[in-house]
């Protein structure tokens, strides 16, 4: 590669969000670069792993507008038709059904690895418009008035430079480049980890998802295309070594105690993996010629399955602004454009972070008024149509101002 090549847009991090943005803009006429540290098909790839993601209707629509959804659906998407929410050992539960809201599903369960493969195949089809540097670890950023220069190191340890009119940082919750450009982040350690695995329900999942709040954190069972449940078991970090190493039958016994009998008897546990959980929020998502998106800008608790959905909405809004600026011959790295992006995304990001964080706080609290409040909350959710509508609109990703991709329209 020639040194100091010049791009319109360089995306640091080719994870689900970075690759999603590159796919959205692949036909915009912009010259794109994606720099990814870990080879896409390697077992160590942190974004394209075996975790299951609950995608909202809004995310489905965005992926549909990008003409990616049919391939995702053909390979892996499982509709969530019913949701059951309960509080372990307490009264109160709520049930939500897709048909009550006139939709075929309240969301879809997809494996991150499969979604990653679909994104990657699309990027490979667009090789003329974009260059993928991988493995490429970005380790220096130097802003200039009309471009940013970034330096990266390849697998052989050789350093390279590229110039870009706009730099998008999508390098995940532990973003290093965020620090390099002087964007500070508030990080709160939940001191919890999510243990993920799959189990087989004795009598099928029937497209039900279960969310059960327990004193040590929420437990979710999500229906998958293999007929199994994906388990997302949140526990105190000190319990994780035991949960991931105990014999399968012991784990199943504990899981059955936690999950109750609503989902039927659970058997045959698959491999268990743990993820440490943090809340990360940047204080500002924009610097000259630079914007931060996805988990690098906001990492939320997986309790309501919102993290990637939120990142995909970042993609839809940023792609629209950049596409329109490019089509009008305007500078895509212009500060006013980046500020507009930040202001369009602020409300949604804050609302989702506050919503997920308050769920964790409320359900971890054994103070009697909090216990009564959540029992009443679940009762209200089960019986009051407006309470159901409020929650479902919020989690479907269809509330508030929607960019074109989220309205089912193409960018151009
Ligand atoms: C247990 C769990 C369950 C979840 N469930 C859901 C769910 O149900 N629904 C949902 O919407 N979301 C869910 N999420 C959240 C979702 O997984 C994340 O929001 C999403 O993966 C974030 O994608 P990203 O591309 O922003 O970041 P990442 O996936 O972290 O990707 C960042 C990429 O940047 C690369 N990188 C890092 N540093 C550099 C560098 N210096 N140079 C170059 N490349 C670099 C990394 O290698 C990586 O590929 C869940 C998360 C967890 C942990």
193 is a domain residue: no
234 is a domain residue: no
* Rounded Cα–Cα distance for residues 285 and 383 (Å): 40
Q: In the structure encoding, which two tokens stand for residue 144, read together? A: 């200039």
Question: pLDDT tens, 257-274?
Answer: 999 888 899 999 999 999
Q: What's the pLDDT score for residue 379?
A: 67
Question: pLDDT tens, 195-210?
Answer: 999 999 998 999 999 9
Q: Which atom of ligand 1 is nearest to the CA of 20?
A: 25
Contacts of residue 307, Cβ cutoff 8 Å, sequence gap at least 6: 295, 298, 299, 300
Pocket test for ligand 1, best of 10, 20, 21, 37 (most atoms within 8 A of CB): 37
Question: pLDDT tens, 33-42?
Answer: 999 999 998 8
199 is a domain residue: no
Q: Give percent of the chain above pLDDT 70.
A: 93
Question: pLDDT tens, 68-108?
Answer: 999 999 999 999 999 998 887 777 788 889 998 889 999 99
Helix (H) or strand (E) run with residue 371 in it: helix 368-383
Q: Which protein residues are within 6 Å of ligand 1, measured from CB?
A: 12-18, 35-38, 46-47, 51, 53-54, 136-138, 170-173, 176-177, 194, 196, 232, 275, 294-295, 302, 305-309, 311
Q: In the structure encoding, which two tokens stand for residue 212, read together? A: 């059960």
- In sequence order, what DSSP letters do the residues of 178-197 get, joined into one string? HHHTT--EEEEEEEEEEEEE
Residue 28: how many other CB atoms lie within 10 Å? 21
331 is a domain residue: yes
* Domain harbouring 304, CATH code: 3.50.50.60
Among 88-102, 304-318, 325-339, 387-401, which stretch is predicted with the lowest mean pLDDT? 387-401
Asked if 284 and 158 count as a contact pair (C-beta separation under 8 A), the reply is no
200 is a domain residue: no
What pTM was estimated for this model as a whole?
0.95
> 30 CA to middle of ligand 1, Å?
25
Question: pLDDT tens, 343-394?
Answer: 999 999 999 998 888 878 776 666 666 666 666 676 666 666 666 677 777 7
> 199 CA to middle of ligand 1, Å?
24
Question: Residues 131-140: what's their mean pLDDT?
Answer: 96
- Report DSSP state, residue 297: T
CA angle 190, 235, 47 (to 5 degrees): 70
Q: Beta strands of 144-260 (E only): which ranges?
A: 148-154, 159-169, 185-201, 208-214, 217-223, 229-236
Of 41, 59, 26, nearest in space to 308 by CA:
59
385 is a domain residue: yes
Helix (H) or strand (E) run with residue 389 in it: helix 385-396
> 98 CA to middle of ligand 1, Å?
28
Considering its fold, how many domains does the chain have in total? Answer: 1
Residue owning the nearest CA to atom 48 of ligand 1 = 15
352 is a domain residue: yes
* Rounded Cα–Cα distance for residues 85 and 138 (Å): 42
195 is a domain residue: no
> 172 CA to middle of ligand 1, Å?
5
Domain holding 174, by residue range, is: 5-187+278-407
CA angle 341, 409, 411 (to 5 degrees): 50
**Total residue length of the chain:** 412
* Rounded Cα–Cα distance for residues 105 and 79 (Å): 5
Q: In the structure encoding, which two tokens stand for residue 310, read together? A: 């939120």
């Amino acid at each position: 590669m020639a040194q100091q090549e010049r791009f319109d847009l360089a995306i640091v991090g080719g994870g689900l969000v970075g690759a999603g943005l590159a796919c959205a803009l692949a036909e915009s006429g912009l010259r794109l670069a994606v720099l990814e540290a870990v080879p896409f098909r390697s077992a160590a790839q942190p974004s394209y792993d075996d975790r299951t993601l609950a995608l909202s209707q809004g995310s489905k629509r965005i992926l549909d507008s990008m003409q990616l959804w049919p391939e995702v659906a053909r390979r892996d998407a499982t509709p969530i038709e019913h949701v059951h929410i309960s509080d372990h050992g307490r009264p109160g539960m709520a049930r939500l059904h897709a048909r009550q809201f006139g939709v075929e599903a309240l969301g879809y369960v997809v494996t991150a690895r499969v979604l990653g493969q679909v994104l990657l195949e699309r990027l490979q089809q667009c090789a003329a418009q974009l260059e993928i540097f991988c493995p490429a670890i970005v380790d220096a950023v130097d802003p200039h008035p009309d471009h940013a220069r970034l330096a990266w190191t390849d697998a052989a340890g050789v350093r390279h430079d590229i110039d870009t009119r706009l730099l998008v940082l999508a390098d995940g919750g532990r973003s290093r480049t965020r620090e390099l450009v002087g964007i500070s982040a508030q990080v709160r350690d939940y001191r919890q980890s999510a243990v993920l695995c799959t189990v087989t329900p004795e009598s099928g999942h029937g497209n039900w998802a279960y969310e059960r709040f327990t004193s040590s954190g929420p437990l979710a069972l999500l229906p998958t295309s293999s007929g199994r449940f994906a388990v997302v078991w949140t526990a105190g970090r000190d319990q994780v070594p035991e949960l991931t190493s105990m014999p399968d039958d012991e784990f199943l016994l504990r899981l059955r105690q936690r999950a109750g009998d609503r989902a039927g008897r659970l058997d045959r546990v698959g491999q268990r993996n743990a993820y440490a959980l943090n809340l990360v929020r940047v204080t500002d998502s924009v610097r000259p010629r630079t914007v931060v998106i996805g988990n690098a800008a906001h990492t939320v608790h997986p309790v309501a399955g919102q993290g990637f959905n939120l990142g995909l909405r970042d993609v839809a809004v940023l792609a629209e602004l950049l596409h329109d600026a490019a089509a009008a011959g305007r500078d895509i790295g212009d500060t006013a454009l980046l500020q507009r992006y930040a202001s369009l995304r602020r409300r949604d990001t804050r609302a989702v972070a506050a919503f997920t964080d308050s769920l964790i706080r409320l359900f971890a609290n054994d103070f009697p008024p909090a216990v009564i409040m959540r029992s009443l909350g679940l009762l209200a959710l089960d019986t009051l149509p407006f309470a159901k509508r409020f929650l479902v609109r919020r989690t479907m990703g269809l509330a508030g101002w929607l960019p074109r991709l989220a309205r089912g329209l193409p960018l151009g």
